[in-house]
């Protein structure tokens, strides 16, 4: 049986991937696969040389082990400063190749997948802002979510394309905090589970190019008899 391990930073990310695998992936795409959503980094930093080598070593010699590393896309992440996904991948693969320079690790490297959220995990919630509004019970007559989003210069149809200022806190998170606050609530993980339960996988794939890349790589590992289900999600490929 295949074992797919997913490493993310942050408690919201961990909760999201737990629900993603439990609700969407097991039954429809991976009935014969074991998912391990690792929570070691729900409150600590994922991107360190020590962590990368430890994760790689855990899958290196087991052909049935596959691993996804999914941090935020932040050039300020230390020690891996990166402006795009390719730069991050090159740095991580460079560390691994230097450590195992005397070993043949080509196959193991193919089983290590590196993806990102651009720019923060909260972009998942903005892509499904209708679900946030629904769960919070927001009446747009009283709280104009659209005005809050426009004020922050976010285009919901091009969520990954706005100019990001890494000197300030997450724009996405500030938008969500404002929406929650106007409803008299604090933005926290306790409200996220019911939102995640309503999320539509196809919507995320259509709105978020980086998430789409992750899903495409993940679906390469899906059970063969589920190919038609996959085409329904990635219908543009």
Q: What is the CATH number of the domain that holds 104?
A: 3.40.50
Question: For residues 92 and 55, is the Cβ–Cβ distance under 8 A?
Answer: no
pLDDT per position as a tens digit, 156-175: 778 787 666 555 567 788 88
For 36, the 3-state DSSP assignment is strand
Q: Are residues 16 and 107 in the same domain?
A: yes
Domain count, the chain: 2
9 and 22 both lie in a single domain: yes
* Structural domain of 76: 2-118+208-229
- Mark whether 97 and 33 lie in a shared domain: yes
How is residue 186 annotated by DSSP?
Answer: -
The larger pLDDT score, comparing residue 216 to residue 223, is at 216
- The answer to whether position 146 is within a domain reads yes
From 20-34, 134-148, 153-167, the region with the lowest mean pLDDT:
153-167
pLDDT confidence band for 231 (50 / 70 / 90)? low
**108 and 134 together in one domain:** no
- Return phi, psi of residue 234, to 5°: -105, 60
**Tokens coding 34:** 């074991």
Is position 127 within any domain? yes
Specify the pLDDT at position 71.
Answer: 83
- Summary mean pLDDT of the chain: 83
Same domain for 103 and 6:
yes
Whether 108 and 180 share a structural domain: no
Residue 11 and residue 62 in one domain: yes
Q: pLDDT exceeding 90 applies to what percent of the chain?
A: 32
Q: Which of 121, 1, 108 is nearest to 55 (CA)?
A: 108
Residue 74 pLDDT exceeds 70? no
**Same domain? 89 vs 107:** yes
Cβ distance 65 to 58 under 8 Å? yes
115-112-12 Cα angle (round to 5): 45
Which range has highest mean pLDDT (36-50, 75-89, 135-149, 205-219)?
205-219
Q: Is residue 37 part of a domain?
A: yes
Q: Which of 175, 121, 119, 130 is nearest to 150 (CA)?
A: 175
């Amino acid at each position: 049986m295949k074992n797919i391990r997913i490493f993310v930073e942050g408690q919201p990310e961990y909760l999201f991937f737990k629900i993603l695998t439990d609700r969407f992936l097991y039954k429809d795409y991976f009935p014969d696969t074991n998912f391990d959503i690792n929570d070691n980094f729900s409150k600590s930093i994922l991107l360190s040389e020590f962590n990368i080598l430890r994760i790689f070593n855990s899958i290196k010699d087991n052909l049935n082990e596959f691993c996804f590393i999914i941090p935020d896309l932040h050039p300020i992440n230390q020690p891996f400063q990166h402006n795009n996904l390719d730069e991050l991948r090159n740095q991580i693969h460079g560390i691994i190749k230097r450590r195992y320079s005397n070993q043949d690790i080509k196959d193991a490297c193919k089983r290590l997948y590196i993806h990102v959220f651009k720019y923060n995990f909260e972009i998942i919630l903005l892509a499904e802002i209708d679900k946030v509004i629904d769960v919070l019970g927001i009446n747009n007559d009283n709280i104009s979510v659209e005005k809050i989003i426009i004020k922050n210069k976010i285009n919901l149809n091009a969520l990954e394309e706005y100019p990001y200022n890494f000197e300030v806190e997450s724009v996405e998170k500030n938008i969500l905090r404002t929406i929650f606050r106007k409803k008299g609530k604090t933005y926290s993980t306790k409200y996220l589970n019911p939102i995640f339960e309503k999320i539509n996988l196809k919507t995320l794939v259509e709105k978020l190019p980086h998430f789409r890349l992750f899903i495409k790589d993940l679906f390469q590992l899906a059970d063969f008899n589920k190919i038609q289900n996959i085409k329904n999600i990635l219908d543009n490929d």
